[in-house]
Amino acid sequence: MRPIRSLMLCCALCLSAPAFSAAPAAPGDVAAIQDVVRQFQAAIIAKDGKTLGSLFLADHNSWLTVLDEAEYAKAKARNPKAAKVNSSTWKEFADFVSTANVPVEEKFHNVRIETNGAVASVYFDFDFLADGKVTNRGSEAWQMVRHEQGWKIVAMVYSIGR
């Protein structure tokens, strides 16, 4: 009988505890983050590495690419030493965009933003296009902070494949 009493006590305590939920995001913060998303996309199309770089916290970087299982199998077939997770930097991406020989664009779908006004998470599905053709697609997540100069991206991780 003792385990049943313990279980009943736990249930009673859980039911009587106040529910905690995050405060809704301030519309101004969400709008400012949406503006960063638009600037990011516009900078890619314009091949504007300087503007792209300004969207990141300058001295911090975490940039990871993760291949899904199908893409990883293809990569391993081409090169047995291929890694499932690869790191890069926003600076390398800005250089790539600035020097691309063909038009490049990243289209975002299902953008979701969560923020408490100090930190934020942006998650979306994407298609990356080069010369009008999808070269990779997947899901992408940004971690952002509200800096003295506005919202900045501090970390980015994205998958390739679906």
Count the neighbouring beta carbons within 10 Å of the beta carbon of residue 148. 5
137 touches 125 (CB < 8 A): yes
Q: Is 54 contained in some domain? A: yes
Indicate which CATH number applies to the domain containing 90.
3.10.450.50
CA distance linking residue 23 with residue 1, whole number of Å: 41
Domain for residue 62, yes or no?
yes
pLDDT for 161 = 87
Question: What is the amino acid identity at position 79?
Answer: N
pLDDT of 122: 97
Question: 141: which strand partners?
Answer: 123, 157
- Domain of residue 74, residue span: 27-160
Examine residue 4 and state whether it is found in any structural domain, yes or no: no
Determine, yes or no, domain membership for 68: yes
How confident is the model at residue 69, as a pLDDT?
A: 94
What is the CB neighbour count within 10 angstroms for residue 39?
Answer: 15
Structure tokens given for 88: 């890069």
Token code pair at residue 14: 């859980």
Residue 127 lies in a domain: yes
Residue 10 inside a domain? The answer is no
Q: For each of the chain's 162 residues, which pLDDT tens digit applies?
A: 454 444 333 444 344 444 434 556 677 899 999 999 999 999 999 999 999 999 998 887 789 999 999 999 999 999 999 999 999 999 999 999 999 999 999 999 999 999 999 999 999 999 999 999 999 999 999 999 999 999 999 999 999 986
What integer pLDDT is reported at residue 160 of this predicted model? 93
Number of domains present in the structure of the chain:
1
Q: Residue 21 has what pLDDT? A: 42
